[in-house]
């Protein structure tokens, strides 16, 4: 049997510091390739590869699309690109967002599971919401190994805590213990590969944009739900796989239940904000019309504009109160 030769690591909030600490603890003779998906701002360049290079004994690169995959190297995702795995190479692709993130931890983990099966080790570190949970499920389903940072040790515990709510984690460890754990498990022989359901490969191709709009053979997995995509407005398909639920639209935007609830809250806040601002603009317009009617000695028109202004003021207050009380989906909630 082959050794475990691929390590994929995902992090979000608090991840920059955690990744530096983890990579600083890896030995120079670490035998596996490491790929990192850290949630990044879509604008500007990332200095994360440089920060990790300063503390790591291993070479660190931000790879080009199609770059060869080498053992003992660390590959860090670039802003606004998914980092994905194919046999012996790295893909950097601008595929659809997953949980409104690109790079996506789930996309990286899923691609590693499809390409390398039981030879993959997945690691979820500090972060918000639940990116990485579905990816770990794919890795475990393929026969791979999963490691989760102890939530009590994480700066932001939501990502590791949500991962632990699923029955698929091999190891839970504080950050300080993960480098030694990785050094041990990558030198062990992997178990046999377990064939994955076709849905995983289809979603991997979507993330890599390995299809065209005319590819009738590549159908979005799942069946139509009664929900719409917050990113494009299309119908979301509900995918029920391995006792888990997730959503993906025909464009390819993907959501976990927590991610979808968070995106819906963003849309509600945006809509309420626009409506409240519009009513404030209407108040200014109505006040101008009220002054104009008064100057022209039109008391009936003045009264009408006063009533319209009061109505918009009342509605604006209701909308602003709704924005303040709108409950965001709890980041530690059930998916």
Q: Would residue 231 show up in a list of annotated catalytic residues for this protein? A: no
Name every residue whose Cβ is closer than 8 Å to that of residue 43 and which is 6 or more positions away in sequence. 79, 80
CB count within 10 Å of CB 305 equals 20
Q: Would residue 131 show up in a list of annotated catalytic residues for this protein? A: yes
Catalytic residue among 33, 39, 82, 130: 39
Instruction: Concatenate the DSSP letters of all residues of 132-180 into one string.
Output: THHHHHHHHHTT-EEEEE-GGGSSS-HHHHHHHTSS--SEEE-GGGHHH
Largest CA distance in the chain: 93
Q: Are 47 and 59 in contact (CB under 8 A)?
A: no
Name every residue whose Cβ is closer than 8 Å to that of residue 190 and which is 6 or more positions away in sequence. 1, 2, 3, 4, 117, 118, 119, 143, 144, 145
Q: Would residue 41 show up in a list of annotated catalytic residues for this protein? A: no
Calpha distance 236→247 (Å, rounded)? 6
Calpha distance 190→144 (Å, rounded)? 7
Catalytic residue among 12, 33, 62, 111: 12
Helix (H) or strand (E) holding 305: helix 299-325
Question: What are residue 123's DSSP bridge partners?
Answer: 9, 147
Report the Cα 308 to chain-centroid distance in Å.
Answer: 44
Catalytic residue among 82, 111, 131, 253: 131
Helix (H) or strand (E) holding 191: none
User: Residue for token digits 């909630």?
Assistant: 333
Rounded (5°) CA angle 167-172-175? 145
Active site residues: 12, 39, 131
């Amino acid at each position: 049997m082959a050794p475990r030769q691929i390590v994929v690591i995902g992090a979000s909030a608090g991840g920059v510091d955690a990744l530096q600490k983890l990579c600083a603890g890896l030995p120079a003779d670490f035998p596996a390739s490491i790929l990192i998906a850290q949630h990044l701002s879509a604008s500007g360049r990332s200095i994360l590869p440089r920060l990790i290079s300063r503390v790591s004994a291993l070479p660190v690169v931000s790879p080009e699309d199609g770059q060869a995959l080498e053992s003992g190297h660390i590959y860090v995702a670039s802003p606004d690109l998914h980092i994905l795995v194919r046999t012996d190479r790295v893909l950097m692709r601008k595929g659809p967002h997953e949980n409104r993130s690109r790079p996506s931890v789930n996309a990286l983990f899923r691609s590693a599971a499809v390409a390398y099966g039981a030879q993959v080790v997945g690691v979820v570190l500090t972060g918000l919401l639940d990116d990485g949970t579905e990816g770990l499920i794919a890795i475990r389903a393929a026969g791979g190994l999963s490691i989760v940072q102890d939530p009590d040790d994480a700066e932001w515990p939501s990502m590791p805590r949500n991962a632990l709510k699923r029955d698929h984690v091999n190891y839970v460890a504080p950050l300080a213990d993960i480098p030694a754990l990785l050094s041990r498990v990558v030198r062990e022989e992997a178990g046999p590969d377990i064939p994955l359901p076709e849905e995983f490969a289809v979603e991997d191709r979507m993330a890599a944009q390995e299809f065209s709009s005319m590819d009738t053979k590549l159908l979005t997995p799942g069946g139509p739900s009664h929900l719409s995509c917050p990113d494009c407005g299309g119908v979301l398909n509900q995918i029920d796989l391995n006792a888990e639920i997730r959503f993906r639209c025909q464009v390819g935007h993907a959501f976990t239940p927590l991610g979808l609830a968070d995106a819906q809250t963003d849309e509600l806040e945006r809509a309420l904000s626009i409506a409240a601002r519009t009513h404030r603009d209407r108040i200014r317009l109505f006040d101008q019309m009220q002054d104009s009617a008064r100057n022209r000695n039109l008391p009936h028109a003045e009264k009408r504009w006063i009533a319209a202004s009061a109505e918009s003021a009342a509605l604006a207050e209701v909308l602003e109160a709704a924005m303040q009380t709108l409950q965001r989906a709890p980041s530690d909630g059930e998916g």
